[in-house]
Amino acid sequence: MVTGERINSVEAENAHNPVLHRLTSPRSPQARTPRSPKARTSLSPQARTISADNLASYQDAFAASPINRLMQNAVTESPITKVAMDRSIAVGIDKTVSHRLDDWKVTNQKKSGRCWLFSGLNSLRYAAAKQLNVQDFEFSQNWMLFWDKLEKSNYFLESMIDLADADADDRTVHHLLSDPIGDGGQWNMFVALVKKYGVVPKSAMPETESSSCTASLNEALQTLLRQGAHDLRALIAAEGGKAAADPQKVDAAKQDILSNIYRVLAIHLGTPPTDFEWEWQDKDKNFTRAGRMTPLEFAEKYITVELDDYVCVVNDPRPTSEYGKTYTVDRLGNVVGGTPVTYLNAPIDVLKTAVKETIVDGDPVWFGCDTNKQSSRDLGIWDAHLYDYEGAYSLDLTLDKANRLIYGDSLMTHAMVFVGVDVDDDGNARRFRVENSWGEDIADKGFFTMNSTWFDEYVFEIAIHKDRLPADLRAVVDAHEEPIVLPAWDPMGALA
């Protein structure tokens, strides 16, 4: 899934845990008979080990270069990011922009992988704050987390039911079991939650210990869901397979699992309110009491954009991913029957122009990217050449964006919001101002600066109004053709 980055680590904080022993035990009706050693894949007989001569060659080559010894002295005493940083970029970057929206404080997802929820809500709070005439306003991120976890649990269990006749080590089943309920998500998943559950102000469902640090909650949910997967698959196998199983009996078993999931969520996150009293004081010291509201009523009043008019545009330059086509990822979603995850693939300049024009017209833009690359948290800088690793290691690093995706070197890890752009005299976007969700203690009080070069290489996705698209791509969206389905493990299924 998309693994969004958290404040202290990559957002896939407890993904890829081993499948529970019960799923692979020979007693399990879904487990295959253990293979004999002869059936296992092994290296070719021609595979060669590292010889003593090889080692001597490596050592001689290293020792022959004074630069290697110099870098060894430097990097054994200082982090490689300090040694390899291009100081001309770090010092020379201008953080001012010609068009800037923000005059508010950043939010803080803390030790959680909720960047996509934070950035989704942050993209909407700008208009809500103006409507309320307040300086700083936050929707409840904990509210969204609760419903996302519950809906993801149902989505996972439905997938396990649907795939019940497949072996437990089937690639899709194994992929889903490796991370049944991570923190990450996509724009369309955010929209599905807002449309079904609405939103509430942060005061109506504030943060808890577990919403700000989700590891323990996720561990409990993952165990429950893997156990639930085992039990559902065992039930269906005992009934003679998916086609013969009684759907009502299977659904009843699923509901029991979901009831347990709800209990764990309520213990960790609190009970979501069905309605709440809404009142506030604005910037002019005026007090307003709006009375009791439901979350859906609150969303209808304070979300001022039509979310169904927004489309996810991605830049996937792999040869197998044609521009001007729509794509989806197998088994990726949260709300069953909700807004499906759908991408429109386009050249990077289409994304950049759409972001520029949207900000110039006064609206922020949600986006997904790979913040693990060429990034300085402390300085708040993203530039494609910020670190000269080629010079530091005396290597040629030649993978382009497409091959970084193909060979697993890059994918979406984090979601944020564009809130500013610097446009030069020729109308080109030179750099962007970014609202992050890592708190105020880094960068420019939590706001980052992204150079155009970094946008080209490491931005993968934006959520944009369909009217911002060129006519040919708008026609693709309006045609509503069935998207091409990518496998569940495809890098475009990475969750921010």
Give which of 456, 188, 496, 120 is closest to 326, Cα–Cα: 188
How many of the other CB atoms lie within 10 Å of CB of 22?
A: 17
Q: Are 121 and 90 in contact (CB under 8 A)?
A: no
Active site annotation includes 115: yes
Residues in CB range of 118: below 8 A, 6 or more apart = 107, 109, 141, 415, 437
Residues in CB range of 405: below 8 A, 6 or more apart = 316, 317, 318, 411, 491, 492
- For residues 181 and 159, what is the distance between their CA atoms, to the nearest angstrom? 13
User: Of these residues, 108, 230, 414, 451, which one is catalytic?
Assistant: 414
Q: Are 333 and 151 in contact (CB under 8 A)?
A: no
Q: Are 214 and 149 in contact (CB under 8 A)?
A: no
Provide the CB-side half-sphere exposure for 268 (13 A, CA): 25
Q: Look at the chain and count its residues.
A: 496
- For residues 363 and 124, what is the distance between their CA atoms, to the nearest angstrom? 9
User: Of these residues, 115, 188, 218, 334, which one is catalytic?
Assistant: 115
Q: Are 282 and 134 in contact (CB under 8 A)?
A: yes
Give the sign of the dihedral formed by CA 165, CA 168, CA 170, CA 175: positive
- For residues 176 and 184, what is the distance between their CA atoms, to the nearest angstrom? 14
Q: Are 156 and 453 in contact (CB under 8 A)?
A: no
Q: What are the DSSP calls for 99-132, one per residue?
A: EE---S---B--BS--HHHHHHHHHHHHHHHHHH
Give which of 463, 169, 489 is closest to 343, Cα–Cα: 463
User: Of these residues, 188, 334, 436, 451, which one is catalytic?
Assistant: 436
Specify the pairing of strand 365-369 against strand 414-423: antiparallel
The residues facing 447 across adjacent strands are: 435, 444
Positions marked catalytic: 115, 414, 436
